[in-house]
Structure 1
Amino acid sequence: MDSDEDFVSTISSGDDAMQDDTDNDDLSGAEDFDVFDDEPDDEPGIPSQKVSKSKGVTFDINYKVYTPDDIQHQQDDMVNEVNMILEMSKEDAAIMLRHFRWNKERLIEEYMDRPSRVLEAAGLGSSAGGPPKLETIAGFVCDICCEDGDGLRSFAMKCGHRYCADCYRQYLVQKIREEGEAARIQCPSEGCHRIIDARSLDLLVAPDLVERYQELLNRTYVEDKDVLKWCPAPDCENAVECPVKKKDLDKVVPTVACACGHRFCFGCILTDHQPAPCELVKKWLKKCADDSETANWISANTKECPKCNSTIEKNGGCNHMTCRKCKHEFCWMCMGLWSEHGTSWYNCSRFEERSGTEARDAQARSRVSLERYLHYYNRYANHEQSARLDKDIYQKTEKKMVQLQTASGMSWIEVQYLNSASQALQTCRQTLKWTYAFAFYLARNNLTEIFEDNQKDLELAVEALSEMFEKPIGELSEPKLKVDIMDKTAYCNRRRVILLEDTADNLANGRWTFNVDLKNPTSAASSATSRV
């Protein structure tokens, strides 16, 4: 595989893919990690290129992208099926499905056992009147606005609670436009749990509000399904289906690519963070954002008074310290009593002294911890900054391609190698950035050395490609440099795949040893702090 397009794959949609976290088929110990159907069905969606799976490798994640029309089509199909099986109106079938979070099998099973109880719970229990419609009833007085009149139009659902059309319409506008409610809008009458249906809504509100109502229903449909999530890219209306379970996020990093081009993690909705699992990413971002490293700096650059434990910062060259709070005099180097310095038996090199040894050990541990964090953070931040710069270059790539086309006489297709190189730089830097967060939590072993070798190879390749890419237009037009850039682009993509396949395989098979517990992060947080 030489580019990101080689990773994109599809997932078979439909009920078979709908999996919840209660299943017992854990990924640990599975030699052949393959929780997805290989053959796509005829469900609507945006197909993406399928990839073959390697035994035990979880780098390729199957998924499918859906447009709003696809999502609506899925809902309509399920509504029609329940409508035929239970012989109820399509509007009532839709309300029932939303109540059961679109679990069709559970709905049918419970309805067959307790129909009246299920209808009541879903908001379809009370049926005192006929089909909902707008009517003009003589002598009617609206209980909300107290208006009456012979020409006053009113509306009531099957529950029979009648109000004037204007009050009903205002109530629906508030619920939909201001509160963002759609799936569970109840009758305005206090204590009535009857749910308004789409046909009633069509009778009362303008088409633009009906459109907003349908958008909210689609959003509810996606949010009710664990295997569906909205693409987090701005202004994107697509949803992505991926059946990776929450309990398996310590075994796989489910990265998907929307049809809009945005790559993100299905598990946490953050931008692509391979190879780091979601829990490590969460911990790393928190560590970088909070004041924990400020405390490390204080530990590394200050000491506590041996007598009153006040924090003291050295402000001069002399090692003779006097605590301003308790006036205790001690040596900055060994933390021992200053009065004993200069005697024939005492000097700062005596590590056997208990108090001085403990202070020096604590200071050394704090410095090592801080230096280790800064080692990984500086490289993480460097690739993040480089990725931003590469992105700026990417935005100027088209202009560069036009200039190269003009200067060299190449066709537009012939200069596309610059676009491919720019995309490779952006993707590889994103991966490299997260390899350092990943490495920060890794325990040292033979696998770690292999990982670092792969990391180094990818980093060297990316830096070489970046240097070639920034050459002047005059040099870029040379055939040899063009070939070198194309070769290096392919090499970068291959090295990225090798690194990600290796980390994903070890992650799926539980071979990595981390300094934190990915299964139980809360309990491990305190103990992990001292180890990392």
Structure 2
Amino acid sequence: MDPHTTDAVHCKLCLSDCPAPETSRLRSCGCVFCTQCLRQYVQLAIQDGAGAPITCPDLACKHPGPLLDSEIASFAPSDQVELYRRLKFERGVQLDPSKAWCPALDCQAVCSVMPNAEGRAVPVPCPACHTVFCCSCREPWEDRHACSQQQPLVVSLPSSDTEATIKQCPKCGVYIERNQGCAQMLCKSCKHTFCWYCLQNLDGDIFLRHYDKGPCRNKLGHSRASVMWNRTQVAGILVGVTIIVVVTSPLLLLASPCILCCVCKPCHRKKGEKKKKKKMTKEQKPPDSVA
């Protein structure tokens, strides 16, 4: 057996076998991939992940823990590692209800935010620029300040005339700004899909039936023809996959014995041993004597 074959590792990212010295094992789960594939994966995750934890790229991994900072530093250049650390820190501040950025434009300090025991808004002093602001609405705190909201952002009803341009993801709380486009939103931080108007979960609504009735009816932002075309494409893909599965299933069942026989190494080994024994027997057999 070729020693190079035993050392080859199958990478689930590039779907090819590569030598073991050119692979890397993740410490959190033990999965092994091509080092080059991991470099590309980590750098793309830094650019598109907005500071979210970078986990194992194998969707079937049973222990997809986050990659260590030392691993990320080994798979990405120093400038991207610095970018990831900054985005990770900013994301941590956004997800922590007890922290907030100072609202002053020329200040980047992180302030501790906590309402009083009754849940009412209280003033928060910035430790850097000493700006005092409301812990709830982030507006400057003045005498007899009347906070207009108990949360940083209030979700406007779809029927209201003025619609907020910035809202929070209903799953992870990250701020999302909508300048244009349809009402089906995808959070880049947690990959959660929801309706911009009512914040309802749309992760399983592949046909966008949410916008056919209720308060968000016809508020998707696309024409009716565009929605119908999207549903036709989704239905066509599902029907195509179903047809492929139905057609190929009997063929796979019929061909499975042949496939198993072809890949069965013990069978090939036994056949080879039988051929060798027959050949040795013929060579060792003495020639017939002539009378």
Same fold flag (TM > 0.5): no
Greater Cα radius of gyration, structure 1 or 2: 1
Q: Smaller-chain TM-score range?
A: 0.3 to 0.5
Where relative contact order (Cα < 8 A, 6+ residues apart) is larger, the structure is 1
Identify, as 1 or 2, the structure richer in helix.
1
Q: Provide TM-score, normalisation by structure 2.
A: 0.42
Identify, as 1 or 2, the structure richer in strand.
2
Q: Provide TM-score, normalisation by structure 1.
A: 0.24
